Amino acid sequence: MENNSNPVGLKNIILVASGKGGVGKSTVTNNLAISLAKRGLKVGILDADIYGPSQPRMLGINNEKPSSGKNGKINTIEKYGIRCMSIGLLIDEKRPIVWRGPMVHGALEQLIKDVNWGELDMLLVDMPPGTGDIHLTLSQKFFISGAIIVSTPQDIALIDAQKGLNMFKKVNVPIIGIIENMSFFLCPNCNERHEIFGNGGAKETANNLKETFLGEIPLYTEIRIKSDNGEPIIEKNNDQINKYFFKITDEVEKFLKENSAI
């Protein structure tokens, strides 16, 4: 494969990234993927966090093993209308990955090129935290339609998010926008909003950088419970929460349509 070209069938590759861990990026990724699939789009998820894959458990497919296709490539696992591939589906989830950089890069390329993704409107890549080699490898080897930055409202998270955003700009990856996760605590009993981590920092950062603010997602107990149980919240008819994901979905669709990507 030549640099900056995608396997046949992958129309768009979108990176979902954060400058640091613990901001809920994986939860955002799978709920956004399912929300996009509900719009009739063909969507896949690549779990690119080789050292700490979480999508198999969050999607409830951690006990499934991919099969091999007739072409020798690995078949994805399908759940909730999306296709998924992760190193966590190929090894025991309790087994640590003790690989040096070149092995990680090779595995990541295989998870894209040697997988039967089929025809997808978009492949969402759940990126590892930071701004390391995996980010550079993907941007150099494949054509990336855009990147989504996930942050929390705290200053320290926003500083790291800006580093990630600027890194993508340096390698000419378009920025789709910024999401503020855990934007506020939504009490499940009284429905009151409590801004325990502050609020609005990601929106202010997006405005200062002249980037799109995609939306906010509350800190809500049911999101965590459903993720731990392999049942993304977007699958439940919880209008109180799903409306936040649907707003972000609208913004992502708008970006892709404006750039003739779907």
Q: Is the pLDDT of residue 1 over 60?
A: no
Which among 255, 220, 254 has a CA at the least distance from the CA of 31? 220
Residue 13 has pLDDT above 60, yes or no: yes
For 194-214, the pLDDT digits (tens) are 898 888 899 999 999 999 999
Query: How many whole angstroms separate alpha carbon 29 and alpha carbon 127?
Result: 9
Q: Is a pLDDT exceeding 80 seen at residue 40?
A: yes
Band of residue 97 on the pLDDT scale cut at 50, 70, 90: confident
- In this structure, the dihedral spanned by the alpha carbons of residues 225, 16, 145 and 79, taken in order and rounded to 10 degrees, is -30
In SS3 terms, the chain reads as: CCCCCCCCCECCEEEEECCCCCCCHHHHHHHHHHHHHCCCCCEEEEECCCCCCCHHHHCCCCCCCCCECCCCCEECEEECCEEEEEHHHCCCCCCCCCCCHHHHHHHHHHHHHCEECCCECEEEEECCCCCCHHHHHHHHHCCCCEEEEEECCCHHHHHHHHHHHHHHHHCCCCEEEEEEEEEEEECCCCCCEECECECCHHHHHHHHCCCCEEEEEEECHHHHHHHHCCCCHHHCCCHHHHHHHHHHHHHHHHHHHHCCCC
Interacting residues of 8 by C-beta distance below 8 A, sequence separation 6+: none
**Residue pointed to by tokens 């926008």:** 177
Confidence of residue 125 (pLDDT cuts 50, 70, 90): very high
- 138-171 burial, b at 16+ Cβ within 10 Å, e below that, comes to bbebbebbbbbbbbbbeeebbebbbebbebbeee
Q: Which residues pair with 15 in a beta bridge?
A: 125, 147
Lowest-confidence region among 19-23, 29-33, 204-208: 19-23
**Mind listing the pLDDT tens digit for each residue in 44-86?**
999 998 888 999 999 999 999 999 998 999 999 999 999 999 9
Mean pLDDT over the full length of the chain: 91
**Is residue 3 predicted with pLDDT exceeding 70?**
no
In which band, very low, low, confident or very high, does the pLDDT at 236 lie, cut at 50, 70 and 90? Answer: confident
* pLDDT exceeds 50 at position 2: no
